[in-house]
Structure 1
Amino acid sequence: MKANKVAVLYGGMSAEREVSLRSGKAAYDALVRLGYDTALIDMDRDVAFKLREAGATVCFIALHGTYGEDGRIQGLLDIMGLPYTGSDFQANMISFDKLLSKEHFVKAGVPTPAYVVPVDNKMPFAKCVVKPCRQGSSVGIHIVDNEADYAAALEDAAKFDSKLMVEECITGKELTVSILNGEALPVIWIRPKKGVYDYESKYTKGMTEYVFETEMTDEHYKYVQKVALDAFNATGCSGYGRVDVIFDGTEGYVLEVNTLPGMTETSLLPKAAGKAGMTFDQMVEKMLEGAFKK
């Protein structure tokens, strides 16, 4: 393994560039500590040239959002014959598109909130979550309960994607389950201090509490882990990822699968791995090992 030249792909051209820069640097530092010959590569349109110039033999993908989580970089790496961390291009493409994901959840019997594709400004549910279909990190997402706000939310979300989806807003505990090498890691209860887990709450230190004491029964806890794994498998994912679930006390509703979760100081996959007894460096090495198991 250590004979490989590892290229950490980070940065990129999406709205989540700044977070990706932090994720990539954290992964790079870990790989260097582990003794790997490692290069940091800021992903742009010259990425194939940069990879060849660096002599990369495997890629650690620390990109978020468009061009990273939508399957495009994975498709390029497949053409180049370079192994890479995380899920393959098809699983990334499906998981990144919230509407495609929904269709796969429903087909596999994975519980998920009711949803529609908006055709006008008439609210389909009493309380709605408006989402651009192909964005991450809560970019462009709005929770609304009246038609004036709904119309404004649709207009704003359309700035981020021409394809929109509207979900029924489910009230309950916001939970996230990280997956690593086919295993569901400890569940985290997400408790944003301002009530909404938006971009600011995700990436501003101190804005959100991340609690391992979920106050669920053992039965419900294992059920939520199973629902998360089912969703992960339904979209064809492999290696690692993170699944967001709303638990209303009885049912766990899957919101989405994140194929390339963040690896910053506030990120949840590293927190869950730590709770499971792994150091950050051990987690990164497991991710890298998974690149050769597709």
Structure 2
Amino acid sequence: MSMNMKNIDVHALGKVAVLMGGRSSEREVSLMSGQGVLDALRSQGVDAHAFDPAQQSLDALKKQGFDRCFIALHGRFGEDGTVQGALELLGIPYTGSGVMASSIAMDKVMTKRIWRFEGLPTPDWRMVGSAQETSQAFAALGAPMIVKPARDGSSMGLTKVTDAGQCAQAYALAAQYDEEVLCEQFIAGDETTCAVLGSGSGAAALPVIRIEAPGGNYDYQNKYFTDTTQYHCPSGLPADEEVCIQQIVEKAFRTLGCRGWGRADVMIRKSDRQPFLLEINTSPGMTSHSLVPMAARAQAMSYEQLCLTILAAAALDNTSPQEPAI
């Protein structure tokens, strides 16, 4: 699944742009991810440079002679297929999923529709366009209910609704981030996440991470800026549950046509231990708090090795990965 760093000719990777920052609501986290990746690649001798699409036009990548891009952008204009499409037109290979998979995965509702069609478990949901429809969704889905933007990440604009009186405020908050708002049945139980490396039949899950956040509230603050959230890797789950989650996540990854790397969030329902897919990230965080590096470490892969492995698999849609010289 992974490459040995000794077999990667870093010079063959060429001049590398680490795309970070951008214009999404997750700019702050992206800058932290990008700096970590940049430092790691440079420490291994890669000719890597920071590139913020919010400050430079993407066509500057061609003018400045970049050979490939490591996408460390999160959210809109970075993880949603737009940057991927621009890089396709420029002919510059990039890390992670292609245009279609990135676009679908960014839209939680489209993702859930495909997973449901393919028989993969995901919580029941309703799309809403008003506070009144949010109240109707609450009546249908029951309490608690999660209200969140359909196309934003890092738990931005998310509310756990336990009372009908909260629906209007929850809708208003989510609508600040996206005109499409998703109401989702809350699954009570263990919160886990599982990363995938590779593409096609070679895509394989890393060890599962079990998350314990203060008060069960794994929000933006607890994801990135507190030290009280506990991450268990090894997960401590029964071996058969861990394998089941890995298999479901691998199928979820392939079903959307993802490639390179990604990370899916999975809830395990306490009542019957049934796993439910929540969403998949095609450009996961790479900060000091991030979970893909943590899972990689559990499999004896360093942060630097992870970054090189992801970078070496950079590709364009409909072409084979741009493997470095060995």
TM-score for both structures, normalised by structure 1: 0.97
Instruction: Give, in angstroms, the shift of residue 9 of structure 1.
Output: 0.5
Q: Tell me the CA shift for residue 47 of structure 1.
A: 2.7
CA distance in 1, matches of 2:189, 2:274: 10
Partners of 2:59 and 2:150 in 1: CA distance = 31
Q: CA deviation at 1:251?
A: 1.1
Query: 1:80-132: CA deviations, max 9, x gaps?
Result: 00000000011010000001101111111110000111252321322211110
Q: Which 5+ residue runs of structure 2 have no aligned equivalent?
A: 1-9, 322-326
Q: Which residue is 1:170 aligned to?
A: 187
Shift of 1:155: 1.1
| Counterpart contact for 1:192–1:207, Cα < 8 Å | yes
Matched, 1:257 2:293: no
2:196 to 168, 171, 179: 179
Q: How does 1:196-215 map to 2 (within 5 A)?
A: 196-215=217-236
Counterpart residue number, 2:58: 48
Unaligned 5+ segments in structure 1 are none
In structure 1, the residue corresponding to 2:76 is in which secondary structure?
coil
Distance of 1:44 and 1:35 partners within structure 2: 27
Q: Which residue of 1 aligns with 2:6?
A: none
**Partner amino acid for 1:137?**
S
SS in 2 for 1:221: helix
RMSD of the TM alignment (CA)?
Answer: 1.3
Separation in 1, partners of 2:223, 2:117: 30
Give secondary structure in 2 for the equivalent of 1:265: coil
The counterpart of 1:239, out of the listed 251, 260, 263, is 260
Instruction: Classify the secondary structure of the residue corresponding to 1:7.
Output: strand
When structure 1 is superposed on structure 2, of 100-109 and 44-53 the one drifting more is 44-53
User: Contact 2:213 / 2:229 at 8 angstroms: preserved in 1?
Assistant: yes
For 1:140 and 1:238, the matched residues in 2 are separated by 28
Mean Cα displacement is larger for which, 259-268 or 40-49? Answer: 40-49
One-letter amino acid matched to 2:295 = A
Percentage of identical aligned residues: 39
The one-letter code sitting in structure 2 at the alignment partner of 1:157 is A
Q: Does the 8 A contact of 1:39 with 1:54 survive in 2?
A: no
SS of match in other structure, 1:205 = coil
- CA offset at residue 45 of structure 1? 6.9
Matches within 5 A, 1:9-28: 9-28=19-38
Secondary structure, counterpart of 1:99 in structure 2 = helix
* Residues 53-87 of structure 1: per-residue CA shift (max 9 Å, x gap): 42101000000011011110000000000000000
- Superposed counterparts of 1:30-49, under 5 Å: 30-44=40-54, 46-49=56-59
Match of 1:92 among 71, 91, 102: 102
Match of 1:2 among 8, 11, 28: 11
Whole-angstrom CA distance in 2 between matches of 1:204 and 1:38: 27
Shift of residue 240 of structure 1? 0.3
Number of corresponding residues: 294
In 1, Cα distance between equivalents of 2:301 and 2:64: 30
Cα deviation digits, residues 206-257 of structure 1 (max 9, x gap):
1310012433221111001111111111111011000000012421100000
SS at structure 1 position matched to 2:215: coil
Q: TM-score, normalised by structure 2?
A: 0.87
1:17 partner amino acid: R
2: CA distance between counterparts of 1:163 and 1:88? Answer: 23
Q: Which one is further off, 186-195 or 78-87? A: 186-195
The CA distance in 2 between the partners of 1:170 and 1:18, in whole Å, is 29
Contact persistence 2:234–2:298 (CA under 8 A): no
Question: Does the Cα contact within 8 Å between 1:174 and 1:191 map onto a contact in 2?
Answer: yes
Q: Which amino acid aligns with 1:212?
A: C
